[in-house]
Amino acid sequence: AATLARAAERTAGRLLAPSAPHRLADVVPAPQRVEPGPVEAWVLPSEAVVVASADPAALAVAEQLAELLRPATGYPLPVTDATAPEPAGGIALLLDDTADLGAEGYRLDINTDGVRLTASTAAGLFYGVQTLRQLLPATIESAVPVSERWALPGGTIIDAPRFPYRGAMLDVARHFFAVEDVLRMIDHLARYKLNHLHLHLTDDQGWRITVDSWPKLTTIGGATEVGDGPGGHYTKADYARIVAYAAARHITVVPEIDLPGHTNSALVAYPQLAPDKIAPPPYTGTEVGFSYVDPADDRTYDFITDVLGEVAALTPGPWLHIGGDEAFKVKGETYTGFVERVQRIVADLGKTVVGWHQLAPAAHLDGRVLQWWGTNGEDPTTADAVRRGARLILSPGNHAYLDMKYAPDTPIGHDWAGLIDVRKAYDWDPGSHVADVPTTAVLGVEAPLWTESVTSLTDIELLLLPRLPAIAELGWSPRETHDWAGFRDRLAGQGPRLAAAGITFHRAPEIPWP
Ligand code: TNX
């Protein structure tokens, strides 16, 4: 209670004091290039207009910006398209494909006339908007009008990501999460310029996506979760809603159907998939590695073709994740033969296969991506798969796993890969983490959140924030900007923003929160 009272006093104090102008470089993830101008260049006026290139995608981003700014400012911020959009005392979002800013880059200029944001794509404009948002006073995150000078620092930011794949994973199988929770997680990803949401849709404890051709997967397989909870599943409409919400934020959904292990929920529903053709009891514990679909039965591959076909049809993004982890009972050539057959099914569906790095020994297939979750960067099998053409998504268990505890007293989470405080989450280099894997083979980074002990949105946010920004920065920012002291201070500035937005987060003691 005393701590709460002190926090309230601090908040009140902050609201009464005039906000110090924000520094142009105080952005997470750190921008590629920052050229500061005047400490304070422009104050958003109540009559400001947002103009955008006359292109539906640019106008959509302009509308998103206006929606971000309206609640706290209380300003109308009309969005208009202009044939010659110039920031005449307003904000301009310009698509310019001659600007050489890359598929996701942007340029942000703030001067005494206002703000001009340029990009080659709507995604670039969207990332520029995320930066602009962080340059306004923290109270901009408030859902209700705040009396504030909406001052912006002057100068130019030229920015683009280091890696094309920047993601997070939510395990909706161990515990099921409502669509609304997933949408809120997508908001967190968008804030930090992540562009992929990996959904771990199936596991021993539950099957979470409707498959019309195998309906019992959800009606039976979806009715359980870890512990005594009711489980649940996404209808195709639910899934489409998640995909669309993500797409509007330039985030691609990566669906995972974990095979051949982690399949108890499918075996409960369809015992013909089981090696002994007997339905196992539903499983609501947290052990791994005991279940598998029968790799010797052709019906298994019919099942996989149906399931992956329906999931692919619902998924506009290029990826299908086939799991492949911890199939302890499917060994050697049986395992690689299984994987090769499933990789082929994915390719025939026109999708690019992603799998956990246990897929490494299987034959290469064009474009395949391995998600590396090791805890020791010496991994000759994975390095060999990379030599044969695989690309890597880096999710080192001892740095990027969001289900690891921060400290021994973290109330939920695991510690099998160690404790991961914010510094541990930040202090590694995806470009050189796995021995004998060149940076050029690294597609990017992903922070997975397994949910054996995670049961609510508050739990998700506790583990996600503030480590997600650390992983986001590793995926976005040039290596030259990597600096713990600098990151720590910039991250501290996120605290009041998250607080103003009503988002709970872990007040990590190593961060100098204001
Ligand atoms: C290992 S990481 C797993 C998951 C567990 C996780 C718990 C991976 C590919 N498999 O099944 O949920 O550890 O941290």
The pLDDT value given to residue 100: 87
- Centre of ligand 1 to C-alpha 438, Å, is 26
The pLDDT value given to residue 448: 98
Phi, psi of 436 (to 5 degrees): 65, 20
Six token digits for residue 298: 């052709």
The pick from 169, 256, 325 for probing ligand 1's pocket by mutation, whose C-beta has the most ligand atoms within 8 angstroms, reads 325
- Centre of ligand 1 to C-alpha 452, Å, is 9
Which protein residue has the closest C-alpha to ligand 1 atom 10? 325
Sheet of strand 114-119: strand arrangement: 33-36, 155-159, 106-111, 114-119, 90-95, 50-52, 79-81
The single residue of 40, 63, 310, 326 carrying the catalytic annotation is: 326
Which protein residue has the closest C-alpha to ligand 1 atom 9? 325
Region class of 406: left (phi > 0), else alpha (psi between -120 and 50), else beta: alpha
Region class of 512: left (phi > 0), else alpha (psi between -120 and 50), else beta: beta
The pLDDT value given to residue 169: 99
ipTM (interface predicted TM): 0.96
Write out residues in the chain with pLDDT < 70, as ranges: 1-21, 83-88
The pLDDT value given to residue 22: 84
Count of other CB atoms within 10 angstroms of residue 88: 11
Contacts of 222 (CB under 8 A, 6+ apart): 176, 206, 207, 208, 231, 232, 233, 265
Give the CA distances from residue 486 to residues 220, 421, 423, 445, 511, in Å, rounded to whole numbers and listed in that order.
51, 16, 12, 21, 11
Which protein residue has the closest C-alpha to ligand 1 atom 6? 450
With vertex at residue 121, the alpha carbon angle to CA 115 and CA 127, rounded to the nearest 5 degrees, is 55
Q: CA-CA distance, 186 to 194, in Å (whole number)? A: 9
Judge whether 136 and 20 are in contact, CB under 8 Å: no
- Centre of ligand 1 to C-alpha 450, Å, is 7
Judge whether 202 and 265 are in contact, CB under 8 Å: yes
Q: CA-CA distance, 393 to 195, in Å (whole number)? A: 13
Which protein residue has the closest C-alpha to ligand 1 atom 11? 288
Which protein residue has the closest C-alpha to ligand 1 atom 2? 373
Q: CA-CA distance, 97 to 61, in Å (whole number)? A: 16
- Centre of ligand 1 to C-alpha 105, Å, is 34
Q: Where are the alpha helices (DSSP H) in 248-297?
A: 264-269
Residues in contact with ligand 1 by the CB-under-6-Å rule are 288, 325-326, 356, 373, 401, 403, 414, 450, 452
- Centre of ligand 1 to C-alpha 416, Å, is 10
Q: Which atom of ligand 1 is nearest to the CA of 416?
A: 14
- Centre of ligand 1 to C-alpha 165, Å, is 21
The pLDDT value given to residue 82: 78
DSSP one-letter code for 402: T
The pLDDT value given to residue 20: 60
Q: Which CATH class is domain 20-159?
A: alpha beta
Count of other CB atoms within 10 angstroms of residue 242: 22
CA atoms in the 13 A half-sphere facing the CB of 78: 4
| All structural domains of the chain with their residue ranges | 20-159, 165-500
Q: Which atom of ligand 1 is nearest to the CA of 326?
A: 10
- Centre of ligand 1 to C-alpha 482, Å, is 28
The pick from 415, 450, 453 for probing ligand 1's pocket by mutation, whose C-beta has the most ligand atoms within 8 angstroms, reads 450
- Residue 326 appears among annotated catalytic residues: yes
- Centre of ligand 1 to C-alpha 178, Å, is 21
The pick from 199, 254, 288, 375 for probing ligand 1's pocket by mutation, whose C-beta has the most ligand atoms within 8 angstroms, reads 288
Q: Which atom of ligand 1 is nearest to the CA of 452?
A: 12
Architecture of domain 165-500: Alpha-Beta Barrel (3.20)
Q: CA dihedral defined by 390, 394, 397, 399, rounded to 10 degrees? A: 160
Instruction: Verify cis geometry, omega within 30 degrees of 0, for the bond prior to 255.
Output: no
The pick from 326, 357, 416, 452 for probing ligand 1's pocket by mutation, whose C-beta has the most ligand atoms within 8 angstroms, reads 326
Which protein residue has the closest C-alpha to ligand 1 atom 12? 450
Considering only CA atoms, give the Rg of the chain. Answer: 24
